[in-house]
Structure 1
Amino acid sequence: MNGPVTAGVAGRPIGHSLSPLIHSAWLQAAGLAGQYLAFEPADEAGFTRLVDRIRTGDLIGINVTAPHKETALALADFATDTARAAGSANVLALLDGHLLADSTDGRGLLETLADQAPGLDLSARAAVILGAGGAARAAVAALRAAGAPEIRLVNRTWARAEALAEVFGPPVRAAGPEALDGDAGLVVSAAVSGDFPDLSRLPAGAAVMDMTYMPLETPLLAAARAAGLTPVDGLGMLIGQARPAFARFFGRPAPDLDVRALALAELARREAQP
């Protein structure tokens, strides 16, 4: 890598993102002359112009978050199987002169489940996904690939859950609140709304994950903890999806650095602000 290079994260809003903190810490630890910035395109046209900066070499790549993940996939020249399965991309970078779309969200989800719920066997019991948007689709793709015997989609709009289930086919299906009954071993919230089903329906030993990391302890995770279930926060997923993105952008693995501690300190600082 010759001279300083720039990567970043694009979304709207983006001011809350911890990605610049995480990637900048890795850059410093690796001794690389680079920077990682936050970009907030005002609209789809602005996002397209930002992507054009990758094609011209002004940027080496970007992470992508809401609301641009589906557009990111559409703008790419080609995509990984993972991105196609997820129906969206959170990583855009040049590969052999062509724009590549990838999705590392599923990897981040599986890594944080392995870390924070080590006793969870994804192939043994059904998984429940709250939500039916892009984040839910990435979760479904990852859990399906991990061997979940059944994936139940719970969404306020039944038609959206049913449409997503049809994209994947069995073992994915739309379900109501009864999805948490009996044998569900995992609940993952990929929903914007703070509403969630009654967790008392879940069996002992089940894990509950919230993709949100602000706040770190969401009402869903607080309820899971109170019910004696295993809570899994969204910060682990953020860090897990960032590692392969860093390697893609900067050509080497992320350094062995406790970025979770840095992120927790930053979250505490923000909470302390008036």
Structure 2
Amino acid sequence: MFYRKWITTGITLVLLIAVAVGSYLISTPETPDAYVRAQDHQPASTVELFKPFWEAWDLLHENYVDPLDDGDLVEGAQIGLLKATGQALFELPIPSIDKAAANPDDLFAPFWETWTSLHETFPDELDDNALMEGALSGMVDSIGDEHTAYMNPEAYIRINEGMSGEYEGIGATVEKNAESGGLELITIFEESPADQAGLRPGDQIVLVEGEDITALDQTEIIAMVRGPAGTPVLLGILRPGEGDILDIEVVRGRISIPSVVSEVLEGNIGYVRLSQFEFSTS
């Protein structure tokens, strides 16, 4: 299924795309004629696989406020494709994208040449779904806009769970620390799994299941930390005043977040705190 959600900010378009490969259920918009010709270079086996890629391409061109450079998008897609292989590519010749090419066939030809070369070099080691998502993600990242991002289906579902006021995770509000790259815990919910495991505000998650996550964006890290209630997740914690990274296992739980809290303060003053907008906020 292809999910899409955008919010116009007056300056740019926030585009969140999630693609579940193999269950593409909505029709692809009409693709500009030029890029129909560019797809002629595609291996036949990728035509259905890359429909979400072309829909994302169209969404960016139709809805983004600033003009986009097609050469940058294709080059970004090629970089994302290469990263998604998970292979050492030092000796693999990578064809250059001619970003000044006026002919769309010439613009996309090196991308498909790279695809073919990768499959010839690693015939049994590549996941085509992951490669397509890597290309899509690289294309979106090439725009260089922090408010425009690709989200895979799992991350998209997790984010929307948070909007419902309930989700399965560790029970904390978080923020990406720009200096360390870690995911800093801002608030620990009382009696939550994070609280019970001894996590503290100011702790920074820098490892998830032993994997360094400091180069990932906040959405990707949150998707890794969240998971089904009752399942454990091993977090590497950077704690102020501690020299070494602490390994702390947290058993995820079902978290309910009250988005509106109210009380009457001294002097008969009403206090209402809105922590976040949710589907049930009223």
Same fold (TM over 0.5): no
Larger Rg: 2
TM-score interval, normalised by the smaller of the two chains: under 0.3
Larger % of helix: which? 1
- Normalising by structure 2, we get a TM-score of 0.27
